[in-house]
């Protein structure tokens, strides 16, 4: 087992280095997505929440006095002076040009993160950092998209991570429905989104140019629908009905596991072992789904916690190498298999690519994760997910509407709706 793990670990480190180099090199260009990413190997467990709730999207409503928290670990007990930088972004997540920082911020930018604490009684040493916005130094003033970059003060040229969030001024309303009765099949493998946007008191002269729309399933960026032309326009709003682009593969419920104790297995964990110098958790093997079976999940979320179940979870939770296996009769056509959840660096994270084992006829991966509750699913590069597609699947859909009126200098986020298929 150790020999096989060392091989996986070497591949993981190589992928991590390649990923950080690619992301850092390409960072000035738009990634066209709201996402959270770490760019270096020693930054782990990046999590963004609203008022402590990690299960809701990172979208703040103006006037509600909500707080955004960005938390992460640096894998040592050495102090690092981390600096956060906030920038306003367009609807497509390119940096907004033509705005001064004083337009969208009150207070100061480029401030140090001063809330940090060393891990306690853990094999893996780490320091847990937390940034809360707004705070006494920095307040955000206008709606739209925001990117937070974190740098080490010794190197302001290379970001260590990015976290993105939105602020909505809900002056337009969205009415949406999700149905398994789609324009291509009836209660089989797909779900179709139908929605309308009411302008409210906003004056919209040319909706094709002034409005930008986004529809996402389970916050995924690889299959989101952006700037789809409405098929109905009237003086009070626009409508999107019978649009083929709004038919999504329904997917399946997320797999899940929970590791609360390093001395005994938790939910969906076969065994927990110590192989110096790491803890290892081996999950029960998965296999491609043939039928739909309902299992309550959180659509890709992860929650850091341990069996102490107290406020110290952030600094008393251990790190483990988690071993995943997907059993198939043969290597699947259609490219690589990836683990995906809100804890990965996107849907095609090289650190989470699985390797085919010809001897055991299964895909394998090992990922270094902090104790807690995790949702995950399998995605394939150029083929449908081996988890299958079933119209009954509970999914979260998010609709966003941005408005830049004629002569406007930035994209306002004026409409936001979240709907679950079984809500």
Overall fold of domain 26-168: Immunoglobulin-like (2.60.40)
pLDDT over threshold 50, residue 22: no
Q: Which residues of 373-397 are buried (b: 16+ CB within 10 A; e: fewer)?
A: bbbbbbbbeeeebbbbbbbebbbbb
Contact (Cβ atoms closer than 8 angstroms) between residue 211 and residue 204: yes
Structure token digits, residue 214: 């986004």
Percent of the chain with pLDDT over 90: 86
Domain at 173-250+393-420: CATH architecture:
Sandwich (2.60)
DSSP state of 104: H
Cα separations (Å) of 75 from 43, 90, 315, 370, 407? 7, 33, 12, 11, 47
pLDDT tens digit string along 135-157?
999 999 999 999 999 999 999 99
Mean pLDDT for the stretch of residues 253-265: 97
Statement: residue 159 has pLDDT above 50: yes
Instruction: With beta carbons less than 8 A apart as the criterion, state whether 298 and 254 touch.
Output: yes
Q: How confident is the model at residue 380 (pLDDT cuts 50, 70, 90)?
A: very high
Would strands 319-327 and 278-283 be described as parallel, antiparallel, or unpaired?
parallel
Q: What is the mean pLDDT of residues 244-258?
A: 97
44 touches 37 (CB < 8 A): no
pLDDT over 70 percentage in the chain: 92
Position 310 scores a pLDDT of: 72
Q: What is the dihedral of CA 128, 134, 138, 140, to 10 degrees?
A: 130
Mean pLDDT of the chain: 92
Alpha-carbon distance of 156 to 296, in angstroms, equals 43
User: Which pLDDT value is given to residue 226?
Assistant: 97
pLDDT (0 to 100) of residue 29: 34
Q: Are 65 and 119 in contact (CB under 8 A)?
A: no
Q: Do domains 26-168 and 173-250+393-420 have the same CATH topology?
A: yes
Q: Which residues, 6+ apart, have CB-to-CB distance to 45 below 8 Å?
A: 71, 72, 73, 304, 343, 369, 370
- For the chain, the structural domain boundaries read 26-168, 173-250+393-420, 255-380
Average pLDDT over residues 339-359: 94
């Amino acid at each position: 087992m150790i020999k096989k793990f060392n091989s996986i670990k070497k591949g993981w480190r190589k992928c991590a280095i390649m990923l950080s180099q690619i992301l850092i090199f390409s960072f000035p260009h738009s990634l066209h997505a709201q996402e959270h990413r770490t760019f270096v190997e020693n930054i782990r467990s990046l999590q963004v929440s609203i008022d402590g709730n990690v299960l809701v999207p990172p979208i703040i409503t103006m006037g509600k006095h909500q707080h955004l928290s960005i938390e992460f670990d640096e894998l040592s007990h050495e102090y690092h002076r981390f600096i956060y930088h906030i920038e306003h972004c367009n609807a497509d997540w390119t940096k907004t040009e033509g705005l001064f920082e004083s337009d969208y911020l009150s207070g100061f930018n480029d401030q140090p993160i001063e809330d940090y604490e060393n891990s306690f009684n853990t094999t893996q040493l780490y320091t847990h950092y937390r940034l809360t916005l707004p705070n006494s130094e920095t307040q955000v003033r206008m709606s739209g998209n925001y990117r937070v970059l974190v740098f080490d003060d010794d190197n302001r040229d290379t970001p260590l991570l990015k976290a993105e969030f939105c602020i909505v001024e809900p002056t337009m309303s969205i009415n949406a429905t999700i149905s398994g009765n789609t324009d291509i099949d009836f209660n089989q493998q797909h779900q179709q989104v139908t929605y309308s946007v009411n302008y409210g008191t906003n004056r919209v002269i040319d909706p094709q140019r002034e409005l930008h729309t986004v529809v996402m399933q389970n916050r995924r960026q690889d299959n989101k629908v952006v700037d789809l032309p409405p098929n109905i326009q009237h003086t009070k709003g626009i409508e999107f009905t019978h649009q083929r682009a709004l038919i999504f593969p329904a997917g399946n419920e997320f797999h899940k596991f929970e590791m609360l104790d390093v001395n005994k297995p938790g939910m969906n964990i076969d065994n927990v072992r110590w192989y110096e110098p790491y803890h290892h958790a081996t999950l029960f093997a998965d296999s491609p789904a043939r039928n739909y079976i309902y299992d309550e999940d959180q659509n890709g979320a992860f929650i850091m916690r341990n069996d102490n179940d107290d406020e110290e979870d952030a600094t008393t939770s251990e790190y483990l190498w988690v071993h995943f296996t997907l059993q198939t009769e043969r290597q699947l056509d259609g490219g690589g298999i990836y683990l995906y959840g809100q804890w990965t660096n996107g849907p095609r994270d090289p650190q989470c690519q699985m390797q085919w084992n010809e001897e055991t006829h299964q895909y394998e991966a090992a990922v270094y994760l902090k104790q807690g509750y995790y949702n995950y699913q399998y995605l394939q590069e150029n083929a449908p997910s081996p988890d299958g597609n079933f119209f009954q699947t509970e999914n979260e859909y998010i609709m966003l509407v941005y408005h830049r009126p004629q002569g406007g200098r930035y994209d306002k986020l004026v409409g936001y709706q979240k709907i679950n298929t079984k809500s």
